[in-house]
Amino acid sequence: MKKFIISIEAVDGKQHEFEIEYKKTVTVSAIENSIQAREARFFRFGDCMVNLDNVFSLVVKEKKD
């Protein structure tokens, strides 16, 4: 499994960071494309539901151990 950090800045200036795990074959660009391609404007990160309409910036980075 690979770990990724998703950093979100909301339009109100609040910052959020989530750590997620995916299979080793998943890439950063695949995660970004999956989020951007969603017709539903909500995305679940763990226990948190994010309204993508309120997101100013979203950055996905692979976490290095």
Q: Both tokens of residue 7?
A: 């950093």
Q: What domain range is 33 assigned to?
A: 2-62
The domain tally of the chain equals: 1
Say how far residue 44 (Cα) sits from the centre of its chain: 9
Strands 42-45 and 48-51: antiparallel
Q: Using the predicted structure, report yes or no on whether residue 61 has a pLDDT greater than 90.
A: yes
pLDDT tens digit string along 12-60?
Answer: 898 989 888 888 889 999 888 887 777 667 877 667 788 888 888 889 9
| Model pTM above 0.95 | no
